[in-house]
Amino acid sequence: MKATAAALAGSVLSGLLASACCLAPVILTLLGVSGAALASGFEPWRLPLLVAAYGLLAVAFFLSYRPRRAECPPDEACARPGPGSAARVMLWIGALLVVLFTAFPWYSRYLF
């Protein structure tokens, strides 16, 4: 459960940072903060951050939906219950956020 939550949090953070080159200047400009172009320094890191975001999402989905072993001795790690439906709903919400953050450069021109 903790590994799934860590992978999900890491993927959302990576997705947010991957879109920081495009999303941060817009948000800072709307807030009236000058010097918002400094966030364009994230542009060279966009591809590695996207790879990290989607890689961590893949790990989170694998840990949430992996098949359980049929037989497991009691008091072993495999005997613990898997993530519940609330954890899976949060995983899907996190995945949607990552997709929205990383696709921002393509749909931002239609927002303003």
pLDDT, tens digit (0-9, with 9 covering 90-100), for 70-107: 677 666 666 566 667 788 888 898 889 888 888 887 88
Whether the pTM exceeds 0.75: the reply is no
Do 27 and 101 touch, CB atoms closer than 8 A? no
The residue-averaged pLDDT of 52-60 equals: 87
Do 54 and 11 touch, CB atoms closer than 8 A? yes
pLDDT, tens digit (0-9, with 9 covering 90-100), for 4-26: 777 777 777 777 776 666 666 66
Annotated domain spans of the chain: 2-66+82-110
**pLDDT score at 74:** 67
